[in-house]
Amino acid sequence: MSNRRGRRPGNAKSGARRNANNQIYKYPLPLILEPLSNDSHARKHATNFLGLFGYSTQRISRPEIEGILDPTTRSVWVTNSEDAMTLWRRGFFGKGNLSRSEPSWLSRRINQMKAKAAGGMTAEEVREKRRAERKQFKLDRARAIAEAALEAENAFATTGEVLKETSVVIPSAATWRPTSSRPTAEAGPPDISASDRTPRREQPRPEDDDKLYEDVEDMEHLQLTLQEAFFLIWTMDCLTLLDPTSQEPLSLQRIWRAFQAVNYPDFIISRSLDIQPARFDNPFLIHYVVFHHYRSLGWVIKNGIKFCVDYLLYKRGPVFAHAEFALVVCPVYEDPSDRESSPFDLQNVDPFTWSWLSTINRVNSQVQKTLVLTYVTIPAMSRLPQGALLSPVCLSHYSIREVVVRRFIPARMRD
C-alpha cells in the first residue's frame, strides 16, 4: 500500500524528531514569560481586573546561572550541567568543551558503557570502523592496480603484446569485503566444553541502568564566548560572572573592563580589572557589536571557524537546519590614523585579494551558505572622549554595513 501524499516511510521518524525538537527548544531565549497564578479561574479574573489598569498578568522568569572567567581561553565556563543545558536549550548559547556543539559528553559516555556491556558498539565506534574499512579498501585497490600494471609491463617487455586482461582481480566497492582475522590451523578449534562451563555475565536490567551509571563523573563544561557571556549578563541579566581567583561575583563595570583587557598579551586579571578602557578598536567591542546586532534581530549566531569565516547565522538553531549565512567581520577605521597607534592586529582590515575572496566564497557556496561581508565602522578617537568607553553606551557609536557576495555558477543560474 502506498503512502498517503507520496510520503516516504522515513518522514514519520523525521516528523517525530522535529516535533520533539520543537518541544525541547521552544524557548528562543533564557527568559520565559510565566503567568502570575497557576489557577485558571484566578488568572481569568486577574486578567480582567489588571487589564483595566494596563497591567500584565505575566511575569518574566530568568534563570540564575554562574560562570567563571577563564582568561587563557578567553571564554566563560559554566560547570553546572543543569545550567549548561538551560543555556543550550534556550537559545543555543555556548558549546560543550568535549562535544561539537551540545554538551552531550556524559550521555555519549553512558551509551558507550551500555553498548560495551551489551557486546555492541556505539555510533562513534561504528563510524570509525567504517572509515578504517574505507581506507583499507582504497589501499587494496591501489595495490591491485599497481600489480596489474606491473604484470602488463612485464608481458609487453617479454612478448611485445598488450594484455587485455590480467590475472589480478581489482576489487570494487560493491564486491570488496574487509578481511577478518581467522585462527591459524596450529591453534586448533576452540574448546567448546570449556566455554560452556564459563558462567555468563548477568546483564543489567533496564530499571537498574540509572543506578549503575550514577557514579559516572561529568567531565564536560559549557564554554561561552565573551560576546555570548556579556549578552547574557547585560541584556538578559541571567548570568553571574565569578572571579577565577577569589570566586567572588564581578560587577558589570569590572566585567566590562576585564573583557576588553583580556585581549592584551600581558593580561593579568588582578591588575586589569581596574584599568580604564582606552581603545575603540578592541577586538571584544568589534565582535560584540556584530553579535549583539544579529542576535537582537532574532538570529542564532555561532562560531564559523569550520567554514573559514567568523560567524554563522541560523534561523532557529543548529538542530533545526543548517546555517544559511556565513559572516566575515571587516573592521573599518573612521580615522585611519587610529590604526597606527593600535596595539591590536585586527584581521581583514587591509583590502583582501580576489583569490582570498574567491576561496572563501567557494567554500561556503559548496555547502549552500551565502557569504556576507560585515563591515564594522570603528569610531574615531578624536571625535569621542575616552570616557565614552567606560560603559556599554559606547556601542551606539559603531555602525554595521553588510555586503552579500554570491558566486556565479553558469550551470545553475541560467534560469
Classify burial at 343, counting beta carbons within 10 Å of its beta carbon; exposed 0-12, middle 13-18, buried 19 or more.
exposed
| Catalytic-role residue among 95, 292, 369, 398 | 369
Catalytic residue status for 369: yes
Asked whether 340 and 386 are in contact (CB, 8 A), the reply is: no
Q: What is the number of other CB atoms lying within 10 angstroms of the CB of residue 309? A: 23
3-state SS class at 33: strand
Asked whether 162 and 149 are in contact (CB, 8 A), the reply is: no
Alpha helical stretches, state H, 160-251:
192-197, 209-212, 226-231
| Catalytic-role residue among 25, 294, 314, 398 | 314
Question: Helices H, strands E: what count in the chain?
Answer: 13, 12
3-state SS class at 401: strand
| Catalytic-role residue among 44, 45, 315, 322 | 322
**Nearest Cα residue to 136 out of 182, 184, 171, 169:** 171
Catalytic residue status for 211: no
Q: Which residues contact 227 (CB under 8 A, 6 or more apart)?
A: 284, 287, 288, 291, 292
Catalytic residue status for 213: no
Name the E strands within 212-263.
222-225, 239-242
Q: Which run of H or E residues covers position 42?
A: helix 40-51
3-state SS class at 37: coil
| Rg, C-alpha atoms of the chain | 30
Question: Catalytic residue positions?
Answer: 314, 322, 369
